[in-house]
Homo-oligomer: A and B are copies of this chain.
Amino acid sequence: MKMIDIQNQKDTRNIDIEKVGVKNIKYPLIVLDRARGTQPVNASINMYVNLPRHFKGTHMSRFVEVLNEFQGQISIKTFRSILEKIRHKLHAQSAHMEIEFPYFIEKTAPVSEAKSLMEYRCLFAGENSAEKTDFLVGVTVPVTTVCPCSREISKHGAHNQRGMVNVKVRFNKFFWIEDLIKIVEESASGEVYSLLKRTDEKYVTEKAYENPKFVEDIVRGVAVKLNEDENFVWYSIEAENFESIHNHSAYAYLEKG
Residues of A that sit less than 8 Å from B by CB: 3-7, 11, 13, 15-28, 39-42, 46, 48, 51, 56-58, 60-61, 64-65, 68, 102, 104, 114-119, 142, 144-162, 190, 192-199, 201-202, 204-206, 208-209, 214-217, 219-221, 223-224, 240, 242-255
- Neighbour of A160 across the interface among B11, B22, B160, CB < 8 A: B160
Could you write out 10 A-B pairs with CB less than 8 Å apart?
A: A13-B224, A17-B216, A19-B252, A19-B253, A25-B194, A28-B104, A56-B217, A151-B157, A205-B245, A208-B245
CB neighbours of A244 from chain B (8 A): 144-145, 160-162, 192, 244
A206 to B150, CA, bound (A): 9
CB neighbours of A161 from chain B (8 A): 160-162, 242, 244
**What distance in Å separates the Cβ of A62 from its nearest Cβ neighbour in chain B?**
10
- Neighbour of A20 across the interface among B58, B206, B215, CB < 8 A: B215
CB neighbours of A209 from chain B (8 A): 154, 156-157
